[in-house]
Structure 1
């Protein structure tokens, strides 16, 4: 056998060996690739996505099995921490809103009341030519007081504590219906045993969706549906307004805030909207 043939055989043997080793390595690490693919599927914006119960195809080797278990444990800890942090954030936000509502009611409202009393006293002693101007000033002060009390109610929904979730949302719908929009609500089920956090999230999402409909949609009609079933609570707020494109309007319409609130109670928020086709906001909160 000549030298060239020997070299060719050696090169061929090396190539065959390398190919076999590559095949063996790919087979050995295929489960690891499956694990990486599953890790890439984790979506922090969707409840439960951090907690896969198992990963198909993983676990063929002891090393990969250990990596899988460590990954699942880490995801469970992250999910639990997210819930704790989210609940604390929600509580802090509501406490801040409550303080703001008290300040508006106790301090600013008291100042406006004093102003109204002074205006009334001034009208009694003022010359007749000033009467129209003083009357207009009093009307503006009364309007400011009404808006102030409305803002205080929005900051801290006392109706939620006093009357319950369904009545509180019905109050939002009634106030919307006082304007040019026809607003209706359909309620089905008992919500009294729903957790405080869940009730607050449902209320705030309804409040934001109705506010968007009033300010941005140009709708003639808004329909709210609130249902309690075996799977949990479903809220729907639908309008027949101009709709919007998500890429242009999501940030300005508070959609991110609604999604964050939904995540705090493992809920899922979906929005259907197209320009000139109306908007539907849906919130699903699972049963505890």
Structure 2
């Protein structure tokens, strides 16, 4: 039965019951209406409205839950679905809404993968141009400045050497930017070495980055390692720019999974059992800064969430114990294959 006919029949039942009560009961209506008759009619009307409101609230309760769910849906935090309940009509609406969420999350994941892939390609192109074009040009300028400084008289020679030092600092900065855009150490030496190098870059005056990296990390695959590196990079960048922190801890640990279930536990599916036994890899960045407070999520944090979705990971950002902010990226192992 459709929602329209259910609401119509609910109202029809209430009105019919009231009409029958007035017909068979010892009720009369005078002209003009007496006070007692007015009180009886008013009471019947109030009862009709209360009963009708109660029946409608019960019948439309699933729609209220659906409305609340729709207002809180976030495609960057997938997996939340509304339990299918209610009769035909409302149940079909909830089921259609859940199906729409499945489709939207799949489409967003696909589009995000394409966008991030294009972003990484553009990062590599820019890094290559900085290294090959700008870097070589500045290197040639340094050589020319050295030649001029060697043949110029004082104090011109000293001034040229100051300019030479400025150009050298600019060249070092360009190389540093190129390394961040294209982390060659990640490809050549692996994730652990890349994170150690990244922590060293951010250990500047006023900020100390302490790192803890397990030595028994499993093979994660290039895509997962790149996501872990980019999340760590974005987290440290946010800390350095906005947190006002002095201490940052970066840890990458392998969390073992639960042992296979015994006969006393209910059997699990093969995929669930494999994921539970394999455990997870956790990246945790914790600082002692001012914390996130009630600030809205920016583009950097949304980008981290999109990257986490690509590998089926779970990203949480919240207050750290004591003070500061904690970013935790948990990558389950065994739930999906990791390919190079």
> What TM-score range do you get, normalising by the shorter chain?
0.7 to 0.9
- In structure 2, the partner of 1:239 is 287
Q: CA deviation at 1:217?
A: 4.4
- In structure 2, the partner of 1:258 is 304
- In structure 2, the partner of 1:127 is 153
CA RMSD of aligned residues (A): 3.2
Q: CA deviation at 1:99?
A: 1.1
Q: CA deviation at 1:219?
A: 4.0
- In structure 2, the partner of 1:47 is 78
Q: CA deviation at 1:157?
A: 1.1
Question: In 2, distance between residues paired with 1:234 and 1:218?
Answer: 25
Question: In 2, distance between residues paired with 1:11 and 1:175?
Answer: 79
Q: CA deviation at 1:43?
A: 3.1
Q: Based on CA coordinates, which of the two structures has the bigger radius of gyration?
A: 2
Judged with a 3 Å threshold, the aligned counterparts in structure 2 of structure 1 residues 13 and 132 are, in CA distance, closer, same or farther, namely closer
Judged with a 3 Å threshold, the aligned counterparts in structure 2 of structure 1 residues 169 and 31 are, in CA distance, closer, same or farther, namely same
Q: CA deviation at 1:38?
A: 3.8
- In structure 2, the partner of 1:29 is 60
Contact 2:202 2:209 in 1 (8 A): yes
Q: Higher mean Cα deviation, 177-186 or 219-228? A: 177-186
- In structure 1, the partner of 2:210 is 184
Unaligned ranges ≥5, structure 1: none
- In structure 1, the partner of 2:189 is 163
Q: CA deviation at 1:178?
A: 5.9
Question: In 1, distance between residues paired with 2:160 and 2:153?
Answer: 10
Q: Higher mean Cα deviation, 176-185 or 106-115? A: 176-185
SS of aligned partner of 1:62: coil
Q: Deviations over 1:36-79 (max 9, x none)?
A: 34444433342323xx2x61xx4331222222221111111011
Question: In 1, distance between residues paired with 2:95 and 2:70?
Answer: 12
Aligned residues between the structures: 279
Question: In 1, distance between residues paired with 2:160 and 2:124?
Answer: 34
Mapping of residues 94-109 of structure 1, within 5 Å: 94-109=120-135
Question: In 1, distance between residues paired with 2:311 and 2:219?
Answer: 16
Judged with a 3 Å threshold, the aligned counterparts in structure 2 of structure 1 residues 25 and 246 are, in CA distance, closer, same or farther, namely closer
Judged with a 3 Å threshold, the aligned counterparts in structure 2 of structure 1 residues 120 and 14 are, in CA distance, closer, same or farther, namely closer
Judged with a 3 Å threshold, the aligned counterparts in structure 2 of structure 1 residues 238 and 175 are, in CA distance, closer, same or farther, namely same
SS of aligned partner of 1:68: helix
What is the TM-score of this pair, normalised by structure 2?
A: 0.70
Unaligned ranges ≥5, structure 2: 1-25, 256-277
What is the TM-score of this pair, normalised by structure 1?
A: 0.81
Contact 1:224 1:238 in 2 (8 A): yes
Q: Does 1:149 align with 2:175?
A: yes
Q: Does 1:73 align with 2:119?
A: no
Q: CA deviation at 1:17?
A: 5.7
- In structure 2, the partner of 1:136 is 162
Question: In 2, distance between residues paired with 1:72 and 1:87?
Answer: 23
Find 2:330's aligned residue among 259, 277, 284: 284
- In structure 2, the partner of 1:110 is 136
Judged with a 3 Å threshold, the aligned counterparts in structure 2 of structure 1 residues 131 and 47 are, in CA distance, closer, same or farther, namely same
Question: In 2, distance between residues paired with 1:123 and 1:17?
Answer: 100
Judged with a 3 Å threshold, the aligned counterparts in structure 2 of structure 1 residues 70 and 47 are, in CA distance, closer, same or farther, namely closer
